[in-house]
Structure 1
Amino acid sequence: MNRPRLFLVTPPVFDPADFAPKLKDALSGGDVACVLIYMPQASSKALQDTAERLVPIIQDGGAAALIYGDTQVAGRTGADGAHVETSLEDIKLAVESLQPERIVGAGGTKLRHEDMEIAETGVDYIFYGKLDLDEREEAHPKTIDRAQWWAELFETPCVALAGNTITSIEDTAATGADFVALKDAVWNHNEGPAAAVAAANAILENHPFVDVE
């Protein structure tokens, strides 16, 4: 697929039983590359219990299931990989323990040289955007700036976090990022998650990658 793909992020706090139908609905709406189970305050047990319920739903929907911050839970639940933001050393350990069978992504950086150091570890993607910030309608200007810089110069794929509206995808996709991440724009969409994913994919179709000879 020669255009950006969707990278969905769960809410930070949710009831797995209530969320599961929303997740199934989202995945029925069109192409989704992966879903990050993002529960930063959850215990390992709560995270594992949730992942055991959601990972099969994500995989049955044709997407990769990623676990935020816990490589052990990723391994135990059959998830497709983990997303690590704690430290460069933790990222290196995740790469060593999970690759090549599983995906390792990283983010949460503040400086460009940190991004380059992370890329050298062999991660599968770099994530731009702060997952712990309250979402605005549009993507944060720093997210746009960093994703555009990275996409133009480096081969490691990057993810750009959009805002809490579907239309905010336009600016993030225009950076050249390989993936566009959405949170509330999908889960709180007034027509439901499937409609949100369909609308998002319609926008992404208008942002094909330019082949450089």
Structure 2
Amino acid sequence: MSSPEDRCRLVLIMPEQAGEDGGREALAAALRGGDVASVILPQYGLSDADFQKRASVLVPLVQDAGAAALIAGDSRVAGRVKADGLHIQGNAADLAEAMERHSPKLIVGGGGATERHTALEMGEHRPDYIFFGKLDGDIKPEAHPKNLALGEWWAAMIEIPCIVMGGTALESALAVAESGAEFVALREAVFGAGQGPASAVAEVNAILDEKAPRFAD
């Protein structure tokens, strides 16, 4: 699998409802579609036991495809299913605790940065990435303007990579790329797509290959 390191790359967010197989077929199809940097698996409303059961099926799929599997939920589940990392949805203190306990053994990234001050507080703990937006925040075709603005500000100032949540349209990935963000996160645009997850991932990568700005060395 090619890894276009010189442009914005795709991060997948697993949806809450993904069929009786817990999303296995949909995720496998998406990963066949082209380059995916990582997959974030949110816990949503699942119990730890049910979440662990789902993650134990999905995490190996992600890793076999050469992507990083990140757990957004109970850190014990991440350890039990041998995930690559943790997505922390709390505040700077939660992120600091997770960094102390799990980094550098695991990738640790921070979500919940809704404005500049919070983002900078989180950045002080040197996470592996900062996430702008909500994991289920793709409610419109386009990425939220506030998240795009935060991503553009962060990418211009800070070396820590950022992920910006896109919208429900595949084309929203380009606006994220143009902000300078290293990664665009998509959920419904891929898993709710009429053409299927594989075609959606292929199309996103084609858009980014053709039109996304390249990072300077």
Aligned to 2:12: 8
Report how far residue 134 of structure 1 moved. 5.3
Pairwise CA distance, 1:12: 2.5
Q: Which residue of 2 aligns with 1:120?
A: 124
Matched pairs, number: 212
Structure 1: any 5+ residue segments left out of the alignment? none
The 5 Å alignment of 1:6-155 reads 6-15=10-19, 17-133=21-137, 135-155=139-159
- Offset from partner CA, 1:65-88 (integer Å, 9 cap, x none): 000022111111100001011222
- Letter of the aligned partner of 1:207 in structure 2? A
Check whether the contact 2:40–2:70 (CA below 8 A) recurs between aligned residues: yes
- Answer with 37-46 or 189-198: which moved more: 37-46
Following the alignment from structure 1 to structure 2, what is the Cα–Cα distance between the partners of residues 61 and 90?
A: 30
8 Å contact 1:13–1:39 — kept in the other structure?
Answer: no
How many angstroms does 1:19 deviate by?
1.3
Quick one: percent identity of the two aligned structures? 44
Q: Which amino acid aligns with 2:212?
A: H
CA distance in 2, matches of 1:128, 1:109: 6
Any idea what SS the aligned residue of 1:104 has? strand
| Partners of 1:11 and 1:39 within 8 A in 2 | no
Contact (CA 8 Å) 1:4, 1:173: kept in 2 or not?
yes
Gaps of 5+ in 2: none
Shift of 1:16: 5.9
Counterpart of 1:190 in structure 2 is: 194
Report if aligned partners of 2:138, 2:166 keep a CA contact under 8 Å in 1.
Answer: no
Name the SS of the counterpart of 1:176 in structure 2. Answer: coil
Aligned equivalent of 1:167? 171
Contact 1:95 1:121 (C-alpha < 8 Å) held by counterparts:
yes
2:204 aligned counterpart, secondary structure = helix
- 1:163-185 C-alpha deviation (Å, 9 max, x unpaired): 00111111111001000100000
Secondary structure of 2:10's aligned partner: strand
Letter in 2 for 1:24: A
The one-letter code matched in structure 2 to 1:99 is: S
Cα deviations by residue, 1:115-150 (Å, 9 ceiling, x for unpaired): 111111121000011224451100011011100000
1:93 offset after TM fit, Å?
1.4
2:216 alignment partner, SS class: coil
Does the 8 Å contact 1:2/1:209 carry over to 2? yes
What TM-score does the superposition give when structure 1 sets the normalisation length? 0.95
